[in-house]
């Protein structure tokens, strides 16, 4: 009797194989007593799925690439004698696995009937003569395929080895350990190639067609293209695809497309606007008769849908049910729920006829609740229970709604349609990565907790450059239980080690780089940024942004320079290009904003900034060109996307440089040789200027002030040239408590600006408001000395009371990042939890776990912030900065939080407006200044201020899915800015 070896389901700790997979299945160390892979014979069964045989061929190539030795493979029926050592691959019903099960060598009961599960491990004496076997068994076709690709990844082949040129690791010895995964958290995990022009389309035309596009639609997306994509999808353990559809029709462009998908093992679907497996409107425009209007033309539309269904019947598919109007617009206004209900009934009749069954409930069907369709559903439209309801985000990464408890036991379940790339209102975002992994996690983990796990679909635009977020989305869908807010950063770290073959420390640096550049581009998507997005005068906001981009650029460059040359192309595609291009664009817009400002201030440096904008605009193209020329042009066109100078929501037809101003460099400014520009104003002295004072003339000398508790501890004054004349300048003060960074210098057209920093060197010398007089004097040949007086006011409000610990008012505001609490008090097991590297500035605090909690005001978990005020104001306006979400708890139950100052009444803030029209969008969502464009919603409360001194703000949990990022308490001093004031000074007790 052979020993009975159950396929092991225990996972050991990672052993130095960097895979995003769960790890632990491979060792490169002979002492691991694993199964030696080098030189192995592979045994398969003739009767296994063709897609498994295809994946075995990939696996053999992978082993050959990693070890330098190609394995050999045989179907068991072709073998006269068995070798003593072999690697056996098979799905549970294949003849070789059946043989092993019959011989009691393996027990496959844990696999039988399961979805996409695999187990592998060593089996001694599996069959007579076969002394050492390593068996990879899958519960079904994809279970087996994933079992192979899992090992491929762990031995050193990234799923992106071709799609992002990740070098394959080399190992002369490889040992296989027990391995088991599945079933997945999410049954169908897929991507959607959408709005694939210009980048993906132009690239594919060059790489896959030799110039001959598809006959009818001139699409490049033939089976040669899709074979590459299917392999990528399967290597990431995804199983589902909505194909390119903007100018293409999957089933028409290449007669081999559908069969190839099925052969590989990819389940095809079509997007929310393309019912019954036909690419609509493209196919309708080619083959349909009459208008796309079911109320008047059902006689022609019905057979059209029937044909699409019949064409897909031999293959694994998920049918999109329902219908939208032509051009992805809502059906006409008169369209009602009754018509849509009839359409779905007819579609199900088609399924019944085509599949020759009276029970269509086992045929996978989805219905995407996209915009108006969600409205119909909420108005009571009946959806057959077995159809999966695909809830969608608002195209901007905020899921509009999740299944409520009474919606969670539908047999068809629910899913989510999500975007990392989008074409539409308020503006396209489709150039570089502008989604944060932490945000994707925050949203999609709610989907898991609320059981929207039947289908996950990610709109990936042109696919590149969203490689990392795509893989994260799919990895989360494969096994959501692996990821928590506490280990989320290890996703990127592990990914960086796998892709760039770097040590842990460099991988952690790359993790920081990725977190930062996606934070900066998610603050406001690059397509929406302009020269005044970040304040040019308050809180040094634009300057901080420039410094942050600069820092990021230099850290990423030093990583890039330190990588082996063969790894650099992968790093360039996956990280470095996004950093350089994002930083360059961000800098260009700020320079353009400063250029406009300086022109109004009559500064000669206006022209330097105009030149700088022009130069950065050219660098933008250089970076695109570099992407297109690396690796002999492998990725030519992949960065074709225009992205500079949007005129409305749709992409500009070419990039347009931001407008710049110039001043006449040979003409002297009317007011004299020197310009004085204190920080915090758009005005300039001497002379008139609309920003000096309301009146715009005779404004008097400038004033600038500093607060002892300002988080920025100095103030600056720019001394600038007003034209061709050179001059010498100096500054003097009548107060010893002012420190001046530079007391004088020379200004000339080539060196036309100087920045002087002022600070207080002795706060004990300052009582309340104390003014110093500074005088800037310019001397220049042939003209009288020019003097500008500046009043510099230092404000010392005193010190907080003894023993106080917390944030201190400065400049009339208190600003606090949400996790910086004095107390975080849970109720039972429910607490506010931090999601690191999240949102616009620091991180997010959210109710955890995501139970369907509903606390009354003051009974739930709370966050408390202690702060100290000096201002004697009557009211305190508090702005809570929150992640844009929707009323995820359904109609009539708006999300909220409670805010309480000291022991006052609790203000329940319902900060997310409902759409005026069911299924529509709230007005506050819309436009380039709406809450999705700004990536933030403000919750505003007003309190009676009470007396100056110690205060506590309490933020009460009332509802789930709320995410708080930052809190700003305005005591009368808050100035306009994009991100809100920087965090206040914190004093220890």
Ligand X SMILES: *[C@@H]1O[C@H](CO)[C@@H](O)[C@H](O)[C@H]1NC(C)=O
Q: Which residues bind ligand X (CB under 6 A)?
A: 44, 46, 53, 73-75, 208-210, 224
Query: Least Å distance between CB 73 and ligand X?
Result: 4
Distance CA 605, CA 751 (A): 9
Query: Are 774 and 956 within 8 A, CB to CB?
Result: no
Nearer to ligand X, 209 or 825 (CB): 209
User: Closest Cα partner for 479 from 317, 238, 139?
Assistant: 238
Distance CA 256, CA 227 (A): 10
Nearer to ligand X, 76 or 448 (CB): 76
User: Closest Cα partner for 123 from 176, 70, 63, 47?
Assistant: 176
Query: Least Å distance between CB 256 and ligand X?
Result: 11
Q: Please give the full DSSP string across 613-627, using - where no structure is assigned.
A: HHHHHHHHHHHHHHH
Query: Least Å distance between CB 55 and ligand X?
Result: 12
Nearer to ligand X, 74 or 246 (CB): 74
Nearer to ligand X, 43 or 447 (CB): 43
Nearer to ligand X, 90 or 465 (CB): 90
Query: Least Å distance between CB 54 and ligand X?
Result: 8
Query: Least Å distance between CB 216 and ligand X?
Result: 17
Query: Least Å distance between CB 628 and ligand X?
Result: 20
Nearer to ligand X, 130 or 758 (CB): 130
User: Closest Cα partner for 594 from 553, 534, 651, 642?
Assistant: 534
User: Closest Cα partner for 294 from 336, 247, 352, 264?
Assistant: 336
Query: Are 269 and 275 within 8 A, CB to CB?
Result: no
Nearer to ligand X, 71 or 397 (CB): 71
Distance CA 133, CA 794 (A): 80
Nearer to ligand X, 54 or 464 (CB): 54
Residue 925 CB partners (closer than 8 Å, separation 6+) = 394, 884, 915, 931, 932
Query: Least Å distance between CB 74 and ligand X?
Result: 5
Nearer to ligand X, 140 or 393 (CB): 140
Query: Least Å distance between CB 627 and ligand X?
Result: 23
Distance CA 319, CA 293 (A): 20
Query: Least Å distance between CB 48 and ligand X?
Result: 7
β-pair type (41-44, 85-91): parallel
Nearer to ligand X, 225 or 441 (CB): 225
Strand (E) or helix (H) holding 345: helix 337-354
Nearer to ligand X, 148 or 932 (CB): 148
Nearer to ligand X, 209 or 871 (CB): 209
Angle between helices 257-264 and 50-67 (to 10 degrees): 70
Query: Least Å distance between CB 53 and ligand X?
Result: 4
Query: Least Å distance between CB 230 and ligand X?
Result: 17
Query: Are 91 and 97 within 8 A, CB to CB?
Result: yes
Distance CA 441, CA 834 (A): 13
Strand (E) or helix (H) holding 946: none
Tokens 């440089």 appear where?
Answer: 657
Query: Least Å distance between CB 255 and ligand X?
Result: 14
Query: Are 671 and 787 within 8 A, CB to CB?
Result: no
Distance CA 35, CA 121 (A): 8
Distance CA 78, CA 589 (A): 67
Length of the chain as a residue count: 989
Q: Please give the full DSSP string across 157-174, using - where no structure is assigned.
A: --TTTTTS-PPPP--S--
Distance CA 112, CA 416 (A): 28
Query: Are 838 and 870 within 8 A, CB to CB?
Result: no
């Amino acid at each position: 009797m052979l020993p009975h070896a159950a396929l092991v389901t225990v996972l050991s700790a990672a052993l130095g194989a960097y895979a995003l997979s769960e790890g632990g299945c491979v060792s490169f160390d002979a002492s691991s007593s694993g199964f030696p892979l080098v030189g192995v014979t592979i045994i398969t069964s003739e009767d296994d799925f063709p897609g498994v045989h295809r994946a075995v061929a990939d696996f053999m190539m992978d082993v050959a690439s990693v070890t330098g030795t190609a394995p050999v493979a045989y179907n068991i029926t072709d073998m006269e004698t068995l070798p003593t050592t072999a690697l056996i691959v098979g799905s549970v019903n294949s003849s070789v696995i059946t043989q092993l099960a019959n011989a009691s060598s393996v027990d496959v009961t844990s696999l039988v009937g399961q979805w996409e599960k695999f187990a592998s491990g060593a089996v001694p004496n599996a069959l007579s003569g076969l002394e050492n076997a390593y068996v990879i068994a899958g519960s079904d076709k994809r279970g087996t395929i994933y079992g192979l690709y899992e090992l491929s990844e762990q031995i050193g082949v990234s799923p992106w080895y071709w799609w992002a040129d990740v070098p394959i690791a080399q190992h002369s010895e490889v040992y296989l350990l027990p391995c088991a995964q599945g079933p997945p958290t999410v049954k169908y995990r897929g991507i959607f190639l959408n709005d694939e022009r210009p980048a993906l389309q132009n690239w594919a035309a060059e790489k896959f067609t030799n110039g001959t596009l598809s006959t009818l639609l001139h699409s490049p997306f033939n089976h040669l293209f899709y074979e590459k994509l299917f392999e990528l999808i399967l290597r990431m353990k995804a199983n589902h695809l909505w194909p390119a559809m903007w100018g293409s029709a999957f089933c028409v462009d290449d007669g081999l497309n559908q069969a190839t998908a099925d052969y590989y093992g990819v389940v095809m679907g079509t997007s929310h606007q393309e019912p019954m497996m036909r690419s609509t409107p493209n196919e309708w425009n080619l083959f349909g008769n009459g208008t796309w209007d079911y109320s008047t033309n059902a006689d022609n539309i019905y057979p059209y849908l029937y044909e699409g269904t019949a064409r897909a019947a031999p293959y694994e598919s998920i049918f999109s049910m329902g219908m939208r109007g032509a051009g992805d617009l809502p059906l006409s206004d008169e369209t009602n729920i009754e018509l849509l209900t009839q359409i779905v009934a007819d579609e199900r009749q088609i399924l019944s006829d085509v599949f020759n069954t009276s029970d269509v409930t086992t045929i996978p069907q989805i219905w995407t609740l996209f915009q108006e369709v969600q409205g119909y559903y909420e108005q009571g439209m009946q959806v057959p229970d077995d159809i999966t309801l695909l809830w969608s985000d608002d195209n901007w990464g905020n899921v509009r709604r999740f299944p409520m408890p009474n919606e969670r036991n539908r047999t068809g379940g629910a899913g989510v349609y999500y975007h990392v790339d989008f074409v539409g209102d308020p503006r396209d975002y489709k150039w570089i990565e502008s989604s944060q992994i932490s945000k994707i996690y925050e949203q999609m983990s709610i989907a898991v907790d609320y059981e929207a796990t039947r289908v996950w679909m990610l709109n990936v635009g042109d696919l590149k450059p969203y490689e990392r977020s795509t893989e994260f989305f799919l990895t989360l869908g494969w096994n959501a239980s692996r990821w928590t807010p506490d280990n989320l950063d290890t996703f990127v770290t592990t990914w960086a080690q796998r892709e760039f073959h770097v040590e842990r420390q460099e991988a952690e640096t790359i993790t920081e780089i990725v977190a930062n550049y996606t934070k900066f581009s998610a603050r406001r998507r690059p397509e929406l940024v302009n020269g005044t997005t970040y304040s040019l005068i308050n809180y040094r906001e634009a300057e901080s942004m420039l410094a942050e981009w600069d820092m990021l650029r230099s850290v990423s460059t030093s990583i890039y320079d330190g990588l082996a040359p063969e790894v650099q192309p992968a790093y360039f595609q996956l990280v470095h290009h996004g950093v350089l291009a994002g930083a360059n664009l961000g800098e260009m817009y700020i320079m353009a904003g400063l250029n406009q400002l300086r022109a109004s201030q009559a500064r000669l440096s206006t022209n330097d900034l105009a030149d700088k904008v022009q130069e950065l605009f050219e660098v933008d193209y250089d970076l695109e060109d570099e992407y297109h020329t690396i690796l002999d042009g492998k990725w030519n066109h992949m960065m074709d996307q225009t992205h500079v100078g949007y005129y409305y929501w749709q992409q500009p037809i070419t990039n347009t440089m931001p407008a710049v101003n110039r001043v006449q460099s040979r003409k002297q400014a009317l007011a004299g040789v020197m310009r004085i520009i204190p920080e915090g104003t758009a005005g300039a002295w001497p002379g008139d200027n609309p920003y000096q004072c309301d009146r715009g003339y005779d404004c008097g000398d400038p004033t600038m002030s500093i607060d002892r508790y300002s988080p920025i501890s100095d103030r600056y004054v720019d001394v600038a040239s007003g034209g061709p004349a050179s001059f010498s300048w100096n500054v003097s003060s009548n107060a010893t408590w002012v420190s001046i960074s530079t007391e004088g210098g020379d200004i000339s057209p080539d060196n036309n600006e100087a920045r002087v920093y002022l600070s207080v060197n002795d706060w004990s010398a300052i009582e309340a408001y104390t003014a110093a007089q500074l005088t800037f004097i310019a001397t220049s040949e042939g003209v009288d000395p020019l003097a500008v007086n500046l009043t510099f006011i230092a404000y010392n409000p005193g010190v907080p009371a003894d023993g106080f610990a917390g944030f201190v008012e400065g400049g009339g505001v208190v600003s606090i990042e949400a996790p910086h609490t004095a107390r975080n008090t849970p109720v039972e097991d429910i607490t506010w939890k931090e999601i690191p590297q999240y949102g616009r500035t620091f991180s997010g605090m959210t109710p955890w776990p995501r139970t369907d909690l509903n606390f009354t005001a003051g009974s739930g978990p709370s966050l408390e912030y202690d702060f100290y005020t000096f201002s004697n104001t009557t009211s305190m306006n508090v702005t809570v900065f929150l992640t844009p979400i929707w009323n995820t708890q359904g109609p009539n139950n708006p999300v909220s939080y409670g805010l309480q100052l000291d022991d006052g009444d609790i203000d329940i803030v319902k900060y997310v407006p409902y759409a005026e029209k069911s299924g529509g969008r709230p007005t506050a969502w819309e436009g380039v200044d709406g809450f999705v464009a700004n990536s933030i919603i403000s919750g505003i409360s007003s309190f009676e201020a009470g007396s100056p001194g110690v205060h506590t703000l309490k933020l009460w949990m009332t509802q789930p899915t709320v995410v708080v990022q930052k809190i700003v308490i305005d005591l009368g001093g808050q100035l306009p800015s994009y991100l809100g004031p920087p965090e206040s000074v914190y004093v220890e007790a």
